[in-house]
Structure 1
Amino acid sequence: MKSISPNLNVMIKASEKASKILIRDFGEIEKLQVSKKGPSDFVTNSDIKAEKIIIDELKKARPNYSIISEENGTEKNNDKKNTWIIDPIDGTVNFLHGIPHFAISIALKSNDEIVSGLIFDPIKNELFFAEKDNGAFFNNHRIKVSKKNELNNCLFVTGGKIKSEPDLPYRKSGCAALDMAYVAAGRYDGYFQNNLNLWDIAAGIIIVKEAGGMINKIDLSENKNIKIIASSTDINSKLIAKLTNF
């Protein structure tokens, strides 16, 4: 594995620190499922706590970088060319129901391009990361997108509402960040979804690209209503042909 940049090192440390809160809070969720109040306020609180830890850690290292985050919104600082994009819990509905499939997602946008990203699944202790021109990695092993080229042998993943049912084998997992990480690692063959937020997919964009995958053109100046189709190059045109009306 090539050496990682100081920025990525800071991102990894921030995600590991925040993950301790999430692991602890996730362990409490089951007890809350039976209470009348329900766990949704508790999960919102977990989200805010995790985001604060991540932002504090990133700011300690890079006080001038700007920030876009799910709970906090946009914070323009002195350095407007470099922006952290943070989702403290992607997959909050899973988290809320005690389903261990959610992730922390942190990306760095530099001059309108994502240059590094990480997706960390704290429950499974799986870390996916990538930097521009440096490859994509899963727990320090190099990863590549799937090589399958027959749609029937593939497994795709989506989320949200679909206008018309695509004729494809697919799943809904409830975590956009992990959907993209799994495409990069070859677990899924492709991912498609509408109406996404930038923080859901920013880290995934570079991880998929650095794993040899393809993604439709995305306007990184938009924070909402993003449409994405990500897959291996081998299957991309066949997947797009099936998604005429999604």
Structure 2
Amino acid sequence: MSKAAALKNNDFDPAFDIALMTEAARSAAAGLKADFAALDTLVIDEKGPGDFVSRADRKAEETVVGILSTARPDWGFLGEEGTDRRGNDARFRWIIDPLDGTNNFVHGLPHWCVTIALERHGEIIAGVTYSPLLDEMFHAYKGGGVFLNGQPLKRMARHDLKNAMIDVDPGHARRDAAQFAQFSKVVAAAEKHCAAVRIEGAGALDLCYLAAGRFDVMFHAGGAKPWDIAAGFLYVREQGIIVTTPEGKPAGIDNGLFLAAAPAMHKAFSALIEWPAVS
């Protein structure tokens, strides 16, 4: 299908829509980089323990929504900063996190990103995630593979758990003593049997790193939202990585508690932490 036909019929066009998402992510990132350079003047509110939101987040979401809606006025939106509207064409919905890793951002840490996913009939079919300070642009569309700065993403593969780099996120476990105790057991097991454990604090970007093989396993203890993981779940699955729930089922973007790894590593780490086998 040509781009003209796709736009006329309001259909997904990989080249056009990935370029559109890339433009939106870069435009939002330009403002965020300026705000990051002037953190001492940024107005920051605290939504809850360790949960910050700034004017930078809101401005970035407005930028993304403006660019996407101009080109695709009939498609819906779900955004972290409150954008939630059904489009005239109910098939499609943009899912946006204009600044994932806000806590890192407001503390001057560079591990944050802009991430955008496209959903069709409830399935994620495309994604773009941009890490501005490293100038790394990840993108994918379903069945088309994953790309980093326009080149196919080659995944570094480690097969032995003792050499594995584990990414963990306590998520909602921080708010519940029993859940946090269980999370702590997972971390302790990983520290004992794996090469290293990291808490990076930006799930969308962490999933990119998992897709690239910079991490070997990702364990999120609950609370990840659709905008945090929608694009990243597409990337890792395009790379052959499996993502499961505590019941051993494939995780969807509404499953904020998940374990993700390549099959052999997933099996080994699942056994280590007594996570259910894939069913």
TM (norm. structure 2) is 0.79
CA offsets, 1:130-181, max 9 Å, x none? Answer: 1111111111222244421211100010112342322113110011011100
Alignment match of 1:199 (pick from 203, 222, 227): 227
Q: Indicate the structure (1 or 2) with the bigger Cα radius of gyration.
A: 2
For 2:48, the equivalent position in structure 1 comes to none
Q: How does 1:117-136 map to 2 (within 5 A)?
A: 117-136=127-146
Counterpart check, 1:208 vs 2:236: yes
SS in 1 for 2:114: strand
Higher mean Cα deviation, 155-164 or 7-16?
A: 155-164
For 1:40, the equivalent position in structure 2 comes to 44
Work out the percentage of aligned pairs sharing the same amino acid: 33
For 1:239, the equivalent position in structure 2 comes to 269
Task: Tell whether the 8 Å contact from 2:160 to 2:265 is kept in structure 1 after alignment.
Answer: yes
Counterpart check, 1:187 vs 2:207: no
Q: How does 1:1-246 map to 2 (within 5 A)?
A: 4-29=14-39, 31-32=40-41, 39-41=43-45, 44-160=54-170, 161=173, 162=180, 163=182, 164-166=184-186, 167-168=189-190, 169-193=196-220, 194-216=222-244, 217-220=250-253, 222=254, 226-244=256-274
Task: Tell whether the 8 Å contact from 2:94 to 2:118 is kept in structure 1 after alignment.
Answer: yes
Count of residues in correspondence between the two structures: 235
SS in 2 for 1:67: strand
Provide structure 1 residue ranges, at least 5 long, that are not aligned to the other structure. Answer: 33-37
RMSD: 2.0
Provide structure 2 residue ranges, at least 5 long, that are not aligned to the other structure. Answer: 1-12, 46-51, 174-179, 191-195, 245-249
Aligned-residue offset at 1:8: 1.0
Aligned-residue offset at 1:235: 0.7
Letter in 2 for 1:237: K
SS in 1 for 2:218: strand
User: Where is the helix percentage greater, Structure 1 or Structure 2?
Assistant: 2
Letter in 1 for 2:198: R
Letter in 2 for 1:239: F
Aligned-residue offset at 1:73: 4.1
Q: What is the CA–CA distance in structure 1 between the aligned matches of 2:272 and 2:112, rounded to whole Å?
A: 28
Task: Tell whether the 8 Å contact from 1:144 to 1:212 is kept in structure 2 after alignment.
Answer: no
TM (norm. structure 1) is 0.89
